[in-house]
Amino acid sequence: DDDLIALNKPAGIAVQGGRKVSRHIDGMLAGLVEPGEARPKLVHRLDRDTSGVLLIARRASVAASLGEVFHSRHARKTYWALVAGVPRPREGTINAPLSKVADRDGHEMVVTDAEAGKSAKTDYQVIENAARKAAWVALWPHTGRTHQLRVHCAAIGTPIVGDGKYGGAESRLDGVPGSDKLHLHARSITFPHPNGGDLTITAPLPPAMIKTWQFLGFDPSRKDTE
């Protein structure tokens, strides 16, 4: 609309640049408007390997307004994930503070840290499961820590499929094509629109995840999943 652009970001593309990252969404934003128009601005972030809803503000004033919405946690984000195993109980809250540390190779990773970690809270619910092998899970983060959903899912013993960083070999599903790729999707976001009222934007699953859903017999068009 006149204030916002919403993208269904593909997995594998970074949102912002950094070391050894030359191709990213932020660097392409000028291509979304006519020459001479103000360059759009990012409102929030998604991990490189996470697909789904990404909001872009057309003007600095809209970016500032939505920045307050996200900072005050007035935006409700729903993520879909495929996890290895089935969480017990089937719905609940993961409340596990998180800290950033360096691994053996000096790369940054996130760990649960009850003493020194920053508060991190995620609600979850199992939507459907394939026996005890895997589950389609909806996730609602209350906080926005780096890699929060990935670490929280691994912390309860059901890592997100394809998340070798936090789930190791347990994140792979034998016999399931494509299970080496992260199965995490920013499904929808509901937030107060700058011009009034609430707006919900929903992103369909990417083709690779649809194939996995079909392989496991899940129906992503179900109406009771939001």
The catalytic site residues sit at 47
Closest CA to 44 of 52, 31, 53, 55: 55
Helix (H, G, I), strand (E, B) or coil at 211: helix
SS3 for 187-200 is EEEEEECCCCCEEE
How many CB atoms are located within 10 Å of the residue 173 CB?
23
Contact 84, 161 (CB under 8 A): yes
Closest CA to 83 of 137, 156, 148, 152: 137
How many CB atoms are located within 10 Å of the residue 34 CB?
5
* Residue 15 DSSP one-character state: S
Q: Within 13 Å and on the Cβ side, how many CA atoms surround 1?
A: 9
Contact 177, 215 (CB under 8 A): yes
Which tokens belong to 124? 């979850």
Is the previous residue joined to 206 through a cis bond, with omega within 30 degrees of 0?
A: no
Return the amino acid letter for 157.
Answer: G
